[in-house]
Amino acid sequence: MKLRNTMFALGVATLTFAMPQGAEAGKSDDTLNWTSGREVAVVDPYYNNTRELVIMGHMAWDGLVFRDIESGEFKPLLATSWKWNGDTAIELELRNDVKFHDGSDFDADDVVYTLNHVSNKDNGVLTYRNVSWIENAEKLGSHKVRINLKKPFPPAFAYLANAVFMMPSGHYDDVPKKPDGKLDYAAAKPVGTGPYKVTEIKAGEFVLMEKNDAYFDGSPKGKPQIDNMRFRTIKEMNTAIAELLTGGLDWIWDVPKEQAERMADNPAITVENAKTFRVSYLAFDVLGQSGQEFFKDKRVRQAFAHAINREAITKNLVGPASVVIPSACHPDQFGCVQDVPKYDYDPEKAKALLKEAGHENGFEFDIYAYREREFTEAVIGDLAKVGIKAKLNFMQYRALRDVVRKGNTPVNHMTWGSYSIPDVSAIVSNFFTHGPDDLTKDDKVKEYLAVADNSIDADKRIEFYNKAFSRIAEEAFWVPMFTYAKYYAWSKDLNFSPTPDEIPRFYTAKWN
Amino acid sequence: MLYYTLKRLGVAVLVAITVSILSFSMIYLSGDPAVALAGEGASNEDIENVRRVYGFDRPIIVQYGGWLVQALQGNLGHSNYLKAPVASVIFERLPTTMLLGACSLAFALLLAIPLGVVAAIRPNSLIDRVALSVAVVGQAMPSFWFALTLILWFGITWRLLPITGTDSWKNFIMPSMALGYYLTPAVMRLTRAGMLEVLSSDYIRTARAKGLRPLTVMFKHALRNAIIPVVSLAAVQFGFMLGGSIVIETIFAINGLGYLAWESIQRADLPMMQAIVLVLSIFYILLTFLADMLNAFLDPRIRVA
């Protein structure tokens, strides 16, 4: 793959600067052509959990609330106002001027139907955790509903804004049956209230969307500007770059750093490195289950934190929008406390800690990873400088996950995207509450998180997350590494701004 | 001949079943399909839910047995990822891959046979060396590199051909060249060797002595006989091209069977992967079987052996 990218990049490097021509096709027929590497066959945000459907979900559907990316505030979308009724119920007033793409009116029945369908585990929603906190929904009036929660769930609005989209009442009732006799909910025709409506799907090839001219006034998403959106699947990045250069595409992302930097010289292309919610971290076998017991000793874990030059990895390998993180969370998430014990790059201090721990001559251990091999290799290189020799075990995610959970990895270098949920409960509570992903089983952290995760008092949450993150950092249960950043490239004809949550809002795009 | 045919047919069926068992087992060895389907970072609850809903909680042997029974009844299953009947997806994409395979084979034959003939006319001459070099470069050059080079020149620099898709015949030119070029050396060398052998035979000498025109001798008498082994090689290579188009389909974003196979492996879509392996192995086995029959028909010694 590297050889291929290098060879092609050499060619692209010579051609991109020499070719001022940009994407003409999209602007001339008012169609934004965008691509990514995954096939899309099912256009339903509950039955397809890929990033592509998260993006399309926000284009074709609306949630009850809207999260303002700039301020982090929740604003009305399909709901006009809301209030908590105790710790486990939210009452919402709904808009009465919204229509679905099929022309039907939006009202309380649609909300009740959608929430009761998706929260029923038997209906097989793929990312069930997005809705697992919902007990049920009740109709209180033609445009008023109550959502009952299973237990206090403070990030409810983050999920309502990012992952819970409204379908028309009866949407999943008339779907065909699968050969096993079960209803095939994924076959439901996509109908939402969003700024774009799905007009054609060719499984694995393209998805066409058309501007929803009837989109309601006053939506914080704004009125859509571009007439058509055409999503295509192009797996090979070099091919996608070639299409962008020749006008076949208007927008691509996940461009490798070296190619993005070369494309930036092309006057017809805009290249930008933008934040994502994904973070990189090293997790240790704190309990010594893997047979390599070095990491039971806090000083060894702290030595790792001092030995790795995270700034250099961020700057040289990831991209300018990436930042080093001191806490086990993303800085943009609610509750991601930054004021925790920090470990600067200091190889001498690392050596001193290792000597103190009885490893003056270093040791050998196994590290496991699945993504961006070069990042892990940089970590291994830094560790070698303080005398620690790491053997890299590079595996597919689906195989590695079980190995990690069984405690068989002395150190694992993993990543976590938090499902783009801007709340730390989407990361820290997954890894430190004695669940299957918790390799530390620390009672104190669990105790702090139990308070923070179950209180709807924001100040109290911050206080207890502070305690939890401080302990995680002090004990060096993880070495939080950096936030991921990805390169976007788009035609100069297109007025587009990336967002920090890895969900491009194409409905705000327009032509220059 | 009948015994030989039945024997080859039996072997072909056993190969198809073995390939199917191996592919089923290997997807499990490469990781939990429920994890792949639930997506990266899915919670334990999500994965358990997926495992239950999609039946991955049953013993592997039961899952395989269930699939085999259904497959024998003509039901290849339902894709876990594409949420569509496997057979309809496969047969929707198969024509694209077959067209690509046929175009690639045509390109390879059109390039390699004339090269082989020219090389045989003047063995060990400069023409022979040039023809050999052209062919060998095809085998030595990685197909992805060749494909990307074609894109660079024909797609980006000169803008003569579309880079991706299957909208018109122009879309198939670069992929066919990239895929077919790899086959060129084998065909070219086989043609050259066949021609050399035939050209030195008595009946060609007789034809020449009768005063027939050189072109008539070359194409009517020599090439027709020399090309027979090329036909059986081409049949087998067509099977290879159906399965081996994964890289080329990925690079040119062609929504064919090779690309579907690759994606299905990535996302551990068991029913889809099983069906593709079965369909491709049946194709390959059938083509190999036909080549065997053709050879046996042409050369009785094979039947006896």
Query: How many CB pairs below 8 A link A and B?
Result: 146
H or E stretch at B44? helix B44-53
Q: Are strands A363-369 and A388-394 parallel, antiparallel or unpaired?
A: parallel
What average pLDDT is seen over chain A?
A: 92
Q: Using an 8 Å CB-CB cutoff, list chain B residues near A15.
A: 152, 156-157
Structure confidence by residue, pLDDT tens digits, A70-84? 898 999 999 999 999
N-term to C-term CA, chain B: 11
A167-176, B274-283, B287-296: least confidently modelled range? B287-296
Tell me how crowded residue B169 is: count the other CB atoms within 10 A of its CB: 10
Over pLDDT 70: what percentage of chain B?
95
- In a domain, residue A476? The reply is yes
Long-range interactions of B52-58: CB distance < 8 A, separation 24+: B53/A124, B54/B80, B55/A180, B56/B32
Q: What is the pLDDT of residue A453?
A: 93
- Look at residue A214 and tell me whether its pLDDT is greater than 50: yes
Same domain, A241 and A283: no
Q: B88: which residues sit within 8 A by CB, 6+ positions away? A: none
Question: What confidence category does residue A20 fall into, taking pLDDT thresholds of 50, 70 and 90?
Answer: very low
Q: Rounded to a whole number, what is the distance in Å from the CA of B281 to chain A's nearest CA?
A: 23
Question: What confidence category does residue A18 fall into, taking pLDDT thresholds of 50, 70 and 90?
Answer: very low
CA geometry: angle B17, B23, B24, nearest 5 deg: 90
Rounded Cα distance, A238 and A413, in Å: 27
Q: Do B35 and A397 count as a contact with CB atoms less than 8 A apart? A: yes
Please check whether residue A243 is in contact with residue A99, taking contact to mean a CB–CB distance below 8 angstroms: no
What average pLDDT is seen over chain B?
A: 84
Taking CA atoms, what residue in B is nearest to A122?
B53
Rounded Cα distance, A306 and A310, in Å: 9
Q: What is the pLDDT of residue A452?
A: 96
Backbone dihedral angles phi then psi of residue B143, each to the nearest 5 degrees = -65, -35
Same domain, A477 and A508: no
A177, A303, A404, A413, B10 from A378: Cα distances, Å: 50, 16, 21, 12, 54
pTM of the full structure: 0.85
Please check whether residue A494 is in contact with residue A512, taking contact to mean a CB–CB distance below 8 angstroms: yes
- In a domain, residue A189? The reply is no
When pLDDT is averaged across residues A328-351 and rounded to a whole number, the result is 96
Taking CA atoms, what residue in B is nearest to A236?
B251
Question: What confidence category does residue B303 fall into, taking pLDDT thresholds of 50, 70 and 90?
Answer: low
Nearest CB partner across the interface for B145, out of A7, A39, A239: A7
Question: What confidence category does residue A365 fall into, taking pLDDT thresholds of 50, 70 and 90?
Answer: very high
The 3-state DSSP class for residue A108 equals helix
Please check whether residue A262 is in contact with residue A6, taking contact to mean a CB–CB distance below 8 angstroms: no
- Which tokens belong to A52? 């592509």
A320: left (phi over 0), alpha (psi -120 to 50) or beta: alpha
CATH number at residue A511: 3.40.190.10
Sign of CA dihedral A159, A96, A186, A229: negative
Structure confidence by residue, pLDDT tens digits, B100-116? 999 999 999 999 999 99
Residue to substitute from B30, B45, B83, B154, interface A, most A β-carbons within 10 A = B83
Q: B267: which residues sit within 8 A by CB, 6+ positions away? A: B36, B37, B81
A150-164, A227-241, B193-207: least confidently modelled range? B193-207
B70: left (phi over 0), alpha (psi -120 to 50) or beta: alpha
Which range of residues forms the domain containing residue A294?
276-485
Same domain, A327 and A386: yes
Q: What is the pLDDT of residue B299?
A: 64
Q: Rounded to a whole number, what is the distance in Å from the CA of A381 to chain B's nearest CA?
A: 27
Structure confidence by residue, pLDDT tens digits, A250-278? 999 999 999 999 999 999 999 999 999 99
Residue with tokens 């001219």: A213
Q: What is the pLDDT of residue B104?
A: 94
CB of B123 within 8 Å of any CB in chain A?
no
Q: Are strands A251-253 and A478-491 parallel, antiparallel or unpaired?
A: antiparallel
Same domain, A480 and A399: yes
Rounded Cα distance, A435 and A414, in Å: 17
Over pLDDT 90: what percentage of chain A?
82
Same domain, A79 and A136: yes
Q: What is the pLDDT of residue A6?
A: 52
Same domain, A374 and A391: yes
Q: What is the pLDDT of residue A441?
A: 96
Structure confidence by residue, pLDDT tens digits, B80-93? 788 788 888 998 89
Q: Do B46 and A398 count as a contact with CB atoms less than 8 A apart? A: no
- Which tokens belong to A133? 């906190």
Q: Using an 8 Å CB-CB cutoff, list chain A residues near B46.
A: 126-129
Which domains occur in chain B, in start order?
A: 33-73 (no CATH), 87-303 (1.10.3720.10)
Same domain, A210 and A155: no
When pLDDT is averaged across residues A187-202 and rounded to a whole number, the result is 96
Taking CA atoms, what residue in B is nearest to A247?
B156
Same domain, A201 and A139: no
Structure confidence by residue, pLDDT tens digits, A373-392? 999 999 999 999 999 999 99
Nearest CB partner across the interface for B39, out of A49, A204, A396: A49
Query: Looking at chain B from residue 4 to 63, which residues have their Cβ under 8 Å from any Cβ of chain A?
Result: 30-33, 35-46, 49-50, 53, 55
- In a domain, residue A412? The reply is yes
Q: How many domains does chain A have?
A: 3
Same domain, A56 and A69: no
